A and B are shown apart, each in its own frame.
Chain A
Amino acid sequence: MTRSNRQKFNKTIVYILLTFLSVIIAFPFIWLIITSFKTYPDIYAYPLLYLPVHPTLEHFEKISSMDFQNYFLNSVIVGVGTMFLSVAIALFPAYAFSRYSFRGKSNLLVSVMLFQMFPQVVFLVPIMKFFGNVGLLDTRFGLILVYALFTTPISIVFMRTFFLSIPKSLEEAAKIDGCNFSQAFFKVIIPITIPGIAAVGIYAFLFSWSELMYSMSFLVSKSKQTIPTFLSLFVGQYQTRWGPLFAGSVLATIPPLIVFMVLQRYFIAGLVSGSVKE
Chain B
Amino acid sequence: MKITREEKTAYKMILPYIILIMLMIVILLVSNVITSFVNEEGTFTFNNYINCFQDEIVGQAFVNTGFWVLGSVLGQVLLGFLAAILLNQIKKGQVIYRSIILILPWATLDIVAGVMWKWMYNDMYGVINDLLMKMHLINDYIPWLASENLAMISIIIANVWKGFCLTGMFFLAGLQSIPKQLYEAAEIDGASSWKRFWHVTIPQLKPVIMTTLMLTIIWTINYFPLIYTMTGGGPGYATETVVTYIYKLGFKFLESNKAAALSNILFVVIFVIASVFLSRISKEEAA
- Residues of A at the B interface (CB closer than 8 Å) are 10-11, 14-15, 17-18, 21-22, 25-26, 28-29, 31-32, 35, 43-48, 89, 92-93, 95-97, 99-103, 106, 108, 110-127, 129-130, 149, 152-153, 156, 206, 209-213, 217, 227-228, 231-232, 234-235, 237, 240, 242, 245-246, 249, 252-253, 256-257, 260-261, 264, 268, 271-272, 274-277
Stretch at the interface among B39-47, B48-56, B81-89: B81-89
User: Nearest CB to that of B169 among chain A residues?
Assistant: A271
Give chain B's interface residue range (CB within 8 Å of chain A).
35 or more
Chain A residues with Cβ below 8 Å from B120 are 28, 31
Known: A48-B130, A212-B225. A96 touches B10 (CB 8 A): yes
Contact B125 A46 (CB under 8 A): yes
Complex CA–CA separation, A31 to B98 (angstroms) = 20
A95, A117, A213: which contacts B218 (Cβ < 8 A)?
A: A117
Contact B97 A260 (CB under 8 A): no
Q: List 30 A-B contacts (CB under 8 A).
A: A14-B90, A25-B100, A26-B104, A28-B116, A29-B105, A32-B119, A92-B13, A95-B13, A102-B4, A102-B11, A111-B18, A114-B22, A115-B25, A116-B218, A119-B221, A119-B270, A121-B243, A121-B247, A125-B32, A125-B35, A125-B260, A152-B17, A210-B111, A210-B225, A212-B111, A212-B225, A237-B232, A246-B119, A271-B172, A272-B177
Complex CA–CA separation, A156 to B95 (angstroms) = 27
Label chain B's interface by main secondary structure.
helix
Known: A130-B31, A212-B228. A101 touches B116 (CB 8 A): no
Complex CA–CA separation, A257 to B121 (angstroms) = 25
Contact B246 A274 (CB under 8 A): no
User: Nearest CB to that of B127 among chain A residues?
Assistant: A31
- Residues of B at the A interface (CB closer than 8 Å) are 4, 6-7, 9-11, 13-14, 17-18, 21-22, 24-25, 27-29, 31-32, 35, 82-83, 86-87, 89-90, 93, 95, 97-101, 103-113, 115-120, 124-125, 127, 130, 161, 169-170, 172-174, 176-177, 207-208, 218, 221-222, 224-225, 228-229, 232, 242-243, 246-247, 250-251, 256, 259-260, 263-264, 266-267, 270-271, 274, 278, 282
Complex CA–CA separation, A75 to B159 (angstroms) = 24
Complex CA–CA separation, A250 to B125 (angstroms) = 20
Contact A261 B99 (CB under 8 A): yes
A129, A242, A276: which contacts B119 (Cβ < 8 A)?
A: A242
User: Nearest CB to that of B79 among chain A residues?
Assistant: A21
Extra contacts, 19 of them, besides A17-B86, A93-B13, A212-B228 (Cβ < 8 A), are A14-B86, A18-B86, A18-B87, A25-B100, A32-B116, A48-B130, A101-B6, A121-B243, A121-B250, A125-B32, A211-B110, A231-B109, A232-B229, A245-B115, A246-B115, A249-B109, A249-B116, A253-B107, A264-B98
